[in-house]
Structure 1
Amino acid sequence: MTRVPDLPVPPPFMWACRECAHFLTELGIAFTLAAGHALYDGSVRCQLLLAAHLASRHAGDVPDRHQDCAPCDYYRQRAETQGIEDLWLEHRARDLFLPAEDARLL
């Protein structure tokens, strides 16, 4: 059975944004459902949608590059040449609403 992670408290700007607040609420529900159903993937979908929203609507609030982070190194090296700046933003945005060990998996 999947565990419900201890989620960090999101920054105030996320609660002030109607879409962020909606995604945060849905994420909590999705984690709870995933804990009871091994095949439920709604929490992953919510994470991806929230990270994409943060990257597109709140890019200035997304944290900078992580130290000692293999995905950050990968994205940094390829962001401009391969056009994946948005994926790098999404990767870093996950730190705003997930524990670091979960946020840095994608």
Structure 2
Amino acid sequence: MDDGMDDGVLPGDGQDWPLPPAWMWGCEDCFRLYREMKHPAARDPLPGAAVPAEGEAQLRLARHIAAEHRAELPGYAATCRVCVDHQARTARDRAMGRSTLTTEQLAREHRARHAFVPDSTVHLP
């Protein structure tokens, strides 16, 4: 697998994009989805298919990480209002006897974004 070092996949100096954790580079799907997010032209779309917007590509990567890399997910960030909100919603659903499957999945997807998206984009103060 190409390590992305010489094709601009890694965040450049002076950018606020975090350097993704090492475990992401060891997963072919993470690498491919990250590359597609950072460089949509790297995607090999089907004929006539639109190249996804960056937000859509972020969501695909976050969903993959939330599903396939649960053990590596960053924890909830106490300074992130979205993390705090996800924790509160999950606790409220649990206290009311509701299923937490959806709220927990959304929280995992959000936490996954902390691994590869700038804080300003993930809604950190």
TM range (shorter): 0.7 to 0.9
- Residue correspondences, number: 93
Among 2, 10, 13, the alignment partner of 2:23 is: 13
Structure-1 residue corresponding to 2:85: 74
**More helix per residue:** 1
Among 113, 116, 119, the alignment partner of 1:94 is: 113
- State the percentage of identical aligned residues: 33
- With normalisation by structure 1, the TM-score equals 0.77
* Cα root mean square deviation, aligned: 2.1
Report the residue type matching 2:114 in the other structure: D
Contact kept? 1:55, 1:86, Cα under 8 Å: yes
Among 58, 81, 90, the alignment partner of 1:47 is: 58
CA pair 17-41 structure 1, distance change in 2 beyond 3 A: closer
Runs of 4 or more, structure 1, over 3 Å off, are none
Q: Which whole-Å CA distance do the structure 2 matches of 1:69 and 1:8 have between them? A: 16
Structure-1 residue corresponding to 2:35: 25
- With normalisation by structure 2, the TM-score equals 0.66
Contact kept? 1:55, 1:90, Cα under 8 Å: yes
Unpaired runs of 5+ in structure 1? 31-39
Unpaired runs of 5+ in structure 2? 1-14, 41-50, 94-98
Structure-2 residue corresponding to 1:36: none
Q: Which whole-Å CA distance do the structure 2 matches of 1:104 and 1:87 have between them? A: 15
Q: Which whole-Å CA distance do the structure 2 matches of 1:104 and 1:90 have between them? A: 14
Structure-1 residue corresponding to 2:96: none
Greater C-alpha Rg: 2
